[in-house]
Amino acid sequence: MSVLMFAQLAISIWDLGAKMKKLLILVLMIFAFFSTAVLAQSLFPNIPKATGNEHPQGNEFMRINHMDMLRHERDMTMREGIRDVDNSLAQCISCHVVKGTDSKPVTIESEEHFCRVCHDFAAVKLDCFSCHNSVPEEGLKTSFKHPDANGSLNAVMAYLEETAK
């Protein structure tokens, strides 16, 4: 093969490459898009939806502060006997209940349990449920309304009515 022929072949391949380049980039982009979607599904916690009313402070606040709120109110309840707290563990469990395939609430043994979803992801050990029950007791109110949900008179009245029972 002469040097001239080799040069001609090289140019034609380069031409082809220039045309293919756009296609290749497009294919790569589509692949990247789907692979991140798959990654998001498999790596990041898929937080289960809760029943009941939204947190008045917002989810982001709860994600950062729930442990401090629980600790503060556990001491109030345990040591001082003040039990009409807004943020009891039983209340968390009651709204954030996840039902399994048998339509019964899943316990902390299951990876789908609300608390475990994030705690497994963050690799933070959860000690609450070595003593506390991880599923709501039957008969526990699930439609608890935060008294400061929206500050309206109806909310306060509903709260009073519910706690009076």
Cβ nearer to another protein, comparing 98 with 108: 108
Nearest distance in Å: CB 109, another protein:
9
Residues that bind another protein (CB under 8 A): 74, 76, 78-84, 90, 107, 130-133, 136-137, 140, 147-148, 153, 156, 160, 163
Nearest distance in Å: CB 140, another protein:
7
118 near 47, Cβ under 8 Å? yes
Nearest distance in Å: CB 26, another protein:
55
126 near 114, Cβ under 8 Å? no
Cβ nearer to another protein, comparing 58 with 81: 81
Tokens representing 36? Answer: 């991140």
Residue 12, C-beta contacts closer than 8 angstroms, at least 6 positions apart: none
66 near 118, Cβ under 8 Å? no
